[in-house]
Structure 1
Amino acid sequence: MLATITLLLGLPLALATEPPSCAPLIPITFDNTTIPRLLGQWFYIVGATRYPPYLPELRAAKFSAFSFSPGSREDELNVTEFIRLNETCVGRNSKVQVLQENSTLVHVDDNQVVSMATLIQSNKDLLILNHINIDSPSLSLSARTHNVSKEHMEEFKAHLHCLGLTEEDTYYTSIKDSCPPSGEKTGEGDADPQLE
């Protein structure tokens, strides 16, 4: 009897310490509102992966801001990006192909596929991308502003936990390293240096 009472009293405490259950990442189903929602400026906040080819740039990226604008075709977006890699600011232009049939974004640079990702359902001011063409889980978070609420960051961290990624796999950017500060020259690339 005492064992039963102890078990019943201890059960709520044991249940409270269990990690949250992991729901699968749910990609957005692309429709005619998806592309307009993506247009405009975004700030890259954080990325997490164990995929070796991605690690050097993730470790070196101190800041990144990018914008999407309509491409020359309906299924294409132009990307203008400024990124601070260690102490160097680099401007880049590339393309994203939108594959509506499987809700995938394909980043193309110099006519080569750089990465593929699905856009995960979340707040409209967040861009959570699940990178899918690699052997390791990889997730990134971008937002309309560099300030992300605690709740949104917790949502992202819960996704990381469910993918088996840890804080050691996570790389953050900082607005204090914004690129380019006034008067600073950018590295190679033909992107417009004025991001607003």
Structure 2
Amino acid sequence: MLATLTLLLGLPLALASEPPTCAPLVPITFDNTTIPRLLGQWFYIVGATRHPPYLPELRAVKFSAFSFSPGSHEDELNVTEFVRLNETCAVRNSSKIQVLENSTLVHVDENQVVSMARVIQSHEDLLILNHINIDSPSLSLSARTHNVSKEHMEEYKAHLHCLGLTEEDVYYTLIEDACPPPAEKTGEGDADPQVE
């Protein structure tokens, strides 16, 4: 009887400490309404991975903002990115995103596939990308503004947890590290941002 009572009293504590149930990541379905929602400016907020080839760039990215515009084909988007890698600001405008029917975005730079990702269902002002075709889970979060609500960040962190990623695998950007837009200069001796 005492053992049963101990078990029943301890059960609520054990249940309360269990991690939340993980639902599978659900990619959005691309159609005539979802693709136009991708257009415009996004701020890269955070990325997480254990994939060794991605780690040096994730550590170096201090700030990134990018915009999607219509490409020359209906299944293609042009990408312009303003990025600070450590202390260097650059504008990248040589890459494209190919939109595949299976909810996958393929990032192509100079005719070479750089990465592949599925867009995960979330709030329309968030862009959660589950990077695929690599040997380790990888998840990034971008948003329409650099300020992300606590609820949206918790949603992202729940996905990370379910993928087996921890806070040690996460790399954040800071708005304070933003590069000035190409038309702006902060002083007489400033050089133009690098264009790739």
TM-score by length of 1: 0.93
The aligned counterpart of 1:90 is 90
Is 2:165 the partner of 1:159? no
Q: Kindly provide the CA deviation profile for residues 38-89 of structure 1, in whole angstroms up to 9, marking residues without a partner as x.
A: 0000000000011111111100000000000101110000100000001110
For these two proteins, the number of residue pairs brought into alignment is: 189
Structure 1 residues 186 and 106: alpha-carbon distance in aligned structure 2, compared to 1, 3 A threshold = farther
SS at match of 1:161: helix
The aligned counterpart of 2:48 is 48
- In angstroms, what is the RMSD of aligned CA positions? 1.2
Structure 1 residues 189 and 159: alpha-carbon distance in aligned structure 2, compared to 1, 3 A threshold = same
**Hey, what's the Cα distance between the residues in 1 that align with 2:53 and 2:77?**
24
**Hey, what's the Cα distance between the residues in 2 that align with 1:112 and 1:74?**
20
* 1:187 CA displacement: 3.6
The aligned counterpart of 1:145 is 145
* 1:188 CA displacement: 2.5
Structure 1, unpaired ranges of 5+: 191-196
* 1:103 CA displacement: 1.1
Is 2:170 the partner of 1:170? yes
* 1:24 CA displacement: 0.9
The aligned counterpart of 1:188 is 194
TM-score by length of 2: 0.93
**Hey, what's the Cα distance between the residues in 2 that align with 1:66 and 1:76?**
15
**Hey, what's the Cα distance between the residues in 2 that align with 1:159 and 1:79?**
26
Contact 1:81–1:92 (Cα < 8 Å) also in 2? yes
Is 2:100 the partner of 1:99? yes
Contact 1:44–1:141 (Cα < 8 Å) also in 2? yes
The aligned counterpart of 2:129 is 129
Is 2:118 the partner of 1:118? yes
The aligned counterpart of 1:67 is 67
SS at match of 1:52: coil
* 1:186 CA displacement: 4.5
Structure 2, unpaired ranges of 5+: none
Structure 1 residues 128 and 5: alpha-carbon distance in aligned structure 2, compared to 1, 3 A threshold = same
Q: Hey, which bits of structure 1, 4+ residues long, moved more than 6 A?
A: none
* 1:6 CA displacement: 2.0
